[in-house]
Amino acid sequence: MHEGCSGSFENGKQIVDKIRMMGFDKQSLPMPFEIECKGCEKTFEMNTFEDKCPHCGMVHGVTPCHAFDPANVKAAGKDY
């Protein structure tokens, strides 16, 4: 069920599952983020609501409601 922007998530897997369910996983972020990978700590540019580190394969996600701040990006796991 869609909870709007009030939904809370305990981990990155829940975020990625939600954006996949809603069809946002391949959609472009309003503005790309330069983030540090939670897996290998290398920096990469996150362009979509779900994106994978090109260095280690760690999947990261952010909901559309929280895509204004890279601090809201959570890791879901390698090749999740």
Q: Where are the domains of the chain?
A: 10-78
Q: Is the pLDDT reported for residue 75 higher than 80?
A: yes
**Hunting for tokens 């929280």 — which residue is that?**
66
* Nearest residue to 73 via CA among 47, 44, 35, 45: 35
Residues 15 and 21: their CA atoms lie apart, in Å, by 10
Average pLDDT (56-63) is 97
Q: Is 19 exposed, middle or buried (0-12, 13-18, 19+ CB in 10 A)?
A: buried
Residues 74 and 35: their CA atoms lie apart, in Å, by 10
Residue length, the chain? 80
Q: What is the pLDDT of residue 1?
A: 39
- The least confident of 1-5, 25-29, 30-34, 46-50 is 1-5
pTM: 0.91
Q: Is the pLDDT reported for residue 2 higher than 90?
A: no
